[in-house]
Amino acid sequence: MNADMIAAWAVENGFHAMDSGNYRRHDDAGVITIEIKRMSFLLIDERQGLRPRLISRLFKDISLASGSGRLQGLLRDRKIVSTGVV
């Protein structure tokens, strides 16, 4: 998995590019931000009334075969529909 694949997944799943490497999506539950770094990404899940949840993963820890499923799994209790990209 790499930065381009994470970015493509984010766009295909309703995230809007903030600037290079940062994507954000608003929904009824709150805001989700994905910050793509050089060798990893950080997911920030900010729900109304709760403390932000931070999840960081190295690209090398997410295989190509299960990439979209693994990303989807990080957001399992949020209603983000995967399009199969990644």
1, 63 Cβ separation under 8 angstroms: yes
pLDDT value, residue 85: 41
* CB-based burial label for 28 (10 Å; 0-12, 13-18, 19+): exposed
Q: pTM score, two decimals? A: 0.76
pLDDT, tens only, 31-67: 999 999 999 999 999 988 889 999 999 988 876 655 5
Given a cut of 50, whether residue 84 has pLDDT beyond it is no
pLDDT value, residue 80: 46
pLDDT, tens only, 2-18: 899 889 889 988 999 99
Structure tokens at 26: 């608003």
